[in-house]
């Protein structure tokens, strides 16, 4: 049996999304063509745009299709005429977009320093864009977007949020933000499609030119199949119930805490996504854990994985105050809305087995192996 516990990296394609994409494959035509074939494709794209705007409660004209959140983040930040401020734990597609980006520190719990943000906003009257992700991809920590928006508006600044981990999990008025980046494959949709919700009054300079598609914000023939799949995925994601996933996540953490009280990095009281657990295994490198879990049939990830697939030290955890050694002994477990207790129980047994095999800790409890009939207060 193989178990997928890496939902923050990507999600399984939903059955309804697959069906909608197959239906769209039957259409032929370029959406920019004026003949009936092209008009039919254009109609499908615009109906998908409307479905997405309805799901997000924003005007349809604010939705611009892109290849994914990385492109959306680049479009939002790269050519902004003014200062760009971002938290120290943003995704690389935010942090690395500009050389002049101003970073804001975070607390040990991964929450942006609002006092520091307020000071920087008050220091200069230049046009300013604040970019803070709704929920961190590595830790699941949720940022206080409402307070950030209120603070930014006090100084006449704009706010952008990379919301790829939050859509479908958090109830938030996304229209209150000036710009929002979204990715299809994080929602049970296809890879290679995303969108940027824009503020039409905020001037953006396209970084892909050569056509008038997407109101000239993003040149190139639209990805019809991906757009249709993403629209279906966003609608379906709003129906997901993450209550059981949160109970499972809490149970998983409690069970591992019995094995090693120092295992958890993110405290339970931290406001975070219901499906995400960050686990520290004393003395065992992240890549060693990942390989061993894979051999035992579990897909998990390190705190950060680069595009080459190699494990690297997490700058997110380092920004939260963890040293290089400790942050290099961390894995992220991100479960789905349909994950089961049996899977969690088997994972904990695998965790203990790897811990006992690979850790140099002298505090490993003896004879603490879990059996299938172990009674634990799941959901309590």
Catalytic site positions: 306
- Beta strands 158-162 and 179-183, pairing class: parallel
How would you classify residue 369: left for phi > 0, otherwise alpha for psi between -120 and 50, otherwise beta? beta
CA distance 3 to 341: 12
For 337, residues 6+ apart whose C-beta sits below 8 A from its C-beta are 240, 241, 242, 244, 245, 275
CA distance 316 to 89: 5
Q: What is the DSSP letter of 99?
A: T
Decide: 194 and 76 in contact? Cβ < 8 Å: no
Largest CA distance in the chain: 74
Q: What HEC string does 41-90 produce?
A: HHHHHHHHHHHHHHHHCCCHHHEEEECCHHHHHHHHHCCCCCEEEEECCC
Decide: 174 and 135 in contact? Cβ < 8 Å: no
Locus of tokens 């390190």: 302
Decide: 124 and 107 in contact? Cβ < 8 Å: no
Write out the two tokens for 111: 């929450």
DSSP per-residue string spanning 208-249: S-SS-TGGGTS-S---HHHHHHHHHHHHHHTT---HHHHHHH
Give the sign of the dihedral formed by CA 186, CA 191, CA 195, CA 196.
Answer: positive
CA distance 7 to 54: 25
Q: What is the DSSP letter of 202?
A: S
Decide: 191 and 21 in contact? Cβ < 8 Å: no
Decide: 240 and 191 in contact? Cβ < 8 Å: no
Decide: 244 and 252 in contact? Cβ < 8 Å: no
Write out the two tokens for 295: 């051999």
């Amino acid at each position: 049996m193989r178990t997928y516990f890496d939902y923050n990296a990507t999600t399984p394609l939903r059955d309804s999304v697959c069906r909608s994409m197959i239906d769209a494959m039957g259409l032929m035509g370029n959406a920019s063509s004026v003949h009936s074939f092209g008009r039919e494709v254009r109609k499908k794209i615009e109906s998908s745009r409307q479905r997405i705007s309805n799901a997000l409660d924003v005007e349809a004209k604010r939705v611009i299709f892109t290849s994914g959140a990385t492109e959306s983040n680049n479009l939002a930040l790269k050519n902004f005429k003014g200062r760009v401020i971002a938290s120290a734990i943003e995704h690389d597609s935010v942090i690395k977009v500009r050389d002049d980006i101003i970073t804001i520190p975070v607390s040990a719990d991964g929450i942006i320093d609002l006092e520091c943000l307020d000071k920087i906003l008050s220091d200069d009257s230049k046009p300013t864009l604040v970019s803070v992700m709704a929920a961190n991809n590595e830790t699941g920590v949720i940022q206080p977007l409402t307070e950030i928006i209120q603070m930014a508006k006090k100084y006449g600044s704009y706010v952008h949020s990379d919301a790829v981990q939050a859509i479908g999990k958090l109830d938030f008025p996304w229209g209150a933000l000036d710009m929002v980046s979204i990715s299809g494959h994080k929602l049970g949709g296809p890879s290679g499609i995303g969108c940027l919700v824009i503020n039409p009054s905020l001037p953006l300079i396209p970084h892909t030119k050569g056509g008038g598609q997407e109101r000239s914000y993003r040149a190139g023939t639209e990805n019809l199949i991906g757009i249709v799949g993403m629209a279906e995925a966003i609608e379906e994601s709003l129906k997901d119930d993450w209550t059981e996933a949160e109970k499972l996540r809490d149970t998983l953490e409690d069970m591992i805490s019995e094995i090693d009280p120092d295992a958890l990095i993110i405290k339970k009281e931290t406001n975070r996504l219901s499906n995400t657990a960050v686990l520290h295994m004393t003395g065992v490198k992240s890549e060693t854990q990942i390989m061993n879990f894979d051999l035992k049939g579990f897909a998990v990830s390190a705190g950060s994985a680069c595009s080459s697939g190699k494990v690297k030290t997490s700058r997110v955890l380092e920004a939260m105050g963890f040293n290089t050694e400790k942050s290099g002994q961390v894995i992220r477990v991100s479960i789905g809305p349909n994950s089961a207790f049996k899977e969690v129980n088997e994972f904990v047994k695998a965790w203990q087995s790897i811990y006992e095999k690979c850790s140099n800790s002298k505090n490993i409890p003896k004879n603490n192996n879990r059996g299938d009939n172990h009674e634990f207060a799941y959901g309590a």
